[in-house]
Structure 1
Amino acid sequence: MNKYVKLGLVILLSIGSILFTQEIKLLKNPDSLPVTSMIIIGLLVLWLFSMIGILIADLAKRSGVKVLQDFPVLGWVAITSLVACLISDFFVTAISAVDFLSITTPILTYAGISVADRLVDLRKTSWKVASVAVFVFMGTYVGSALLSQFGLFITGN
């Protein structure tokens, strides 16, 4: 099967996961937004931007310019979506219809699965990495709590 067809199907599977997440959110909270045609159009626009970014990345890898060859696919997708959104407000409207949390839930799930798939490699790292991770997590939590508390203090709550 063609590489682009496989990647397109994987991204469509991700879009299906996002729609599933949106529907589950609707079941849990009936006041949330239902899946509309604009949400589906927004997800298709995101799919299109992803496919264009993948195509540009492959074309850049074939070029002789080292900077273009080393530029990541995510960068090409971001540039593609930025240019398209600057050209037309339709893309901004379509993408903004998609619920942000419905996108992040499947993405974080896929990230967790990819990390869990590499636990053998993670075990081979030194114990120092684990201690650094614990301090980073604690620092992030304490920093977020302090920032939130400061925001509440400024607003008078």
Structure 2
Amino acid sequence: MAITKNKYVKYGLILLLSIGLILFTQEIKLIKNPDSTPVTNMTYLGLAILWMFSMIGIAVSDLSKKIPVKVIRDFPVLGWVSITSLILCLMSDVFIEAIRAVDFLSITTPILTYAGISVADRLMDLRKTSWKIAIVAVFVFTGTFLGSAVISQLGLMLSGR
């Protein structure tokens, strides 16, 4: 029981650090672009709600590990957080209004940072893969970039810009 409790405290503190980084990023963005989403009391409420959704999703993920159905047992934490968020946002518009006060790009910065750290942590595993994966990665990145550019250009042309 104490190990589980300590695990939740650890996750809660990590998520709190993430919330702090999101708030910091939104403040820096305001310095660079004063017309962007301002930090208000609703922003703090939205960040607290995002923290709560994440903690509930983590708890549901731990509970699902005890279910004998393999699909549910192996369902990722991110999926449980998303389902929790979806259900709770469908239940009340207050959640949606509060989360709307949090700037989306401020959320993506810490997420991409964590993704980069997790990839950098596994560089030794990447060395063991074939050199051919680099060629595949170049084509995937190029295709994604070109596809995004074409879709953006079509959107601009359709909107008359």
**Match of residue 112 from structure 1:** 116
Residue from 83, 86, 92 that aligns with 1:88: 92
Residue equivalent to 2:82: 78
Contact 2:37 2:102 in 1 (8 A): no
Q: Distance in 2 between matches of 1:55 and 1:118?
A: 27
Equivalent residues in 2 for 1:26-105 (5 A)?
26-105=30-109
2:141 is the counterpart of 1:137? yes
TM-score (normalised: structure 1): 0.94
1:125 aligns with 129
Q: CA deviation at 1:143?
A: 1.4
The alpha carbon displacement at 1:73 in A equals 1.0
3-state SS of 2:38 partner: coil
Deviation at 1:27, TM superposition (A): 1.4
* Structure 1: gaps of 5 or more residues: none
* Cα deviation digits, residues 104-124 of structure 1 (max 9, x gap): 011111111111121121122
Aligned partner of 1:25 among 29, 41, 45? 29
Runs of 4+ in 1 over 6 A off after TM superposition: none
Paired AA for residue 132 in structure 1: V
Moved more, 50-59 or 138-147: 138-147
Q: Distance in 2 between matches of 1:155 and 1:8?
A: 44
User: What runs of 5+ residues in structure 2 fail to find an aligned partner?
Assistant: none
Identity of aligned residues (%): 72
TM-score, structure 2 length as denominator?
0.91
2:86 is matched by which residue type in structure 1? L
Q: In 1, Cα distance between the equivalents of 2:37 and 2:156?
A: 29
